[in-house]
Structure 1
Amino acid sequence: MHALIVAAGFGSRLRAVSPSKPLTPVNGVPLIERVIRAAHDGGASAFTVVTGHEGDAVEAFLATAAARLALPIACVRTADWNLPNGHSVLTGAGAIGARRHLLMMADHLVDPALIATVAGAPAAGLVLGVDRRLDNPLVDLDDVTRVRTDPADPTRIVAIGKHLPDYDAFDTGVFAVDARFHDALRASIADGGAGSISAGVEALAATGQARVIDTGDHWWLDVDDPRALDQAEAALALADRYVVAA
Structure 2
Amino acid sequence: MDALIIAAGFGSRLRDISDSKPMTPIAGIPLLELGVRQAKAAGVKRVVVVTGHEADRLEAALPALAERAGIPVEAQRVADWSKPNGWSVMAGASVIDGDYLLMMSDHIFSAPILRDLAKAGGADRGVTLAIDRRCDNPLVDPDDATWVKMDEAGFIRAIGKTIPEYDAVDCGAFLATPELALAIQAAIDAGQAGSLSEGMQRLADAGRAATLDIGSAWWLDVDDPHMHALAEAQAPAQLPEIYG
Q: Normalising TM by the smaller chain, what interval? A: over 0.9
TM (norm. structure 2) is 0.95
Computed over aligned residues only, the root mean square deviation of the Cα atoms, in angstroms, reads 1.3
Instruction: Quote the Cα distance in structure 1 between the aligned partners of 2:155 and 2:239.
Output: 34
TM (norm. structure 1) is 0.94
Aligned to 2:158: 159
Equivalent residues of 2:93, 2:181 under 8 A apart: yes
Shift of 1:238: 3.7
Does structure 1 residue 126 correspond to structure 2 residue 133?
no
Instruction: Quote the Cα distance in structure 2 between the aligned partners of 1:237 and 1:110.
Output: 12
Q: Deviations over 1:7-60 (max 9, x none)?
A: 000000001111110000111110000011111112212110000111112111
Instruction: Quote the Cα distance in structure 2 between the aligned partners of 1:101 and 1:71.
Output: 15
Aligned to 2:91: 91
Aligned residues: 241
* Letter of the structure 2 residue corresponding to residue 220 of structure 1: W
Instruction: Quote the Cα distance in structure 2 between the aligned partners of 1:48 and 1:207.
Output: 28
* Letter of the structure 1 residue corresponding to residue 115 of structure 2: A
**What SS class does the counterpart of residue 113 from structure 1 fall into?**
helix
Fraction of identical pairs, as percent: 47
**What SS class does the counterpart of residue 96 from structure 1 fall into?**
coil
Q: Deviations over 1:120-144 (max 9, x none)?
A: 1132200001001122110000001
**What SS class does the counterpart of residue 95 from structure 1 fall into?**
coil
Does structure 1 residue 171 correspond to structure 2 residue 170?
yes
**What SS class does the counterpart of residue 159 from structure 2 fall into?**
strand
Instruction: Quote the Cα distance in structure 2 between the aligned partners of 1:131 and 1:204.
Output: 20
Instruction: Quote the Cα distance in structure 2 between the aligned partners of 1:212 and 1:181.
Output: 14
- Give the 5 Å matches for 1:4-83: 4-83=4-83
Query: Is there any run of 5+ residues in structure 1 with no aligned partner, and where?
Result: none
Equivalent residues of 2:131, 2:170 under 8 A apart: yes
Instruction: Quote the Cα distance in structure 1 between the aligned partners of 2:235 and 2:221.
Output: 14
Cα distance change on mapping 1:239 and 1:116 into 2, 3 Å:
closer
Does structure 1 residue 183 correspond to structure 2 residue 182?
yes
Shift of 1:237: 4.3
Instruction: Quote the Cα distance in structure 2 between the aligned partners of 1:107 and 1:127.
Output: 19
Does structure 1 residue 232 correspond to structure 2 residue 239?
no
Shift of 1:239: 4.8
Shift of 1:243: 4.2
Equivalent residues of 1:148, 1:168 under 8 A apart: yes
Aligned to 1:137: 138
Equivalent residues of 2:236, 2:243 under 8 A apart: no
Cα distance change on mapping 1:126 and 1:82 into 2, 3 Å:
same
Q: Deviations over 1:156-176 (max 9, x none)?
A: 100001122210001001101
Aligned to 2:217: 218
Cα distance change on mapping 1:20 and 1:205 into 2, 3 Å:
same
Equivalent residues of 1:8, 1:51 under 8 A apart: yes
Instruction: Quote the Cα distance in structure 1 between the aligned partners of 2:239 and 2:177.
Output: 32
Query: Is there any run of 5+ residues in structure 2 with no aligned partner, and where?
Result: none
Instruction: Quote the Cα distance in structure 1 between the aligned partners of 2:239 and 2:204.
Output: 36
* Letter of the structure 2 residue corresponding to residue 212 of structure 1: T
Shift of 1:69: 2.5
Equivalent residues of 1:39, 1:112 under 8 A apart: no
Instruction: Quote the Cα distance in structure 2 between the aligned partners of 1:193 and 1:240.
Output: 38
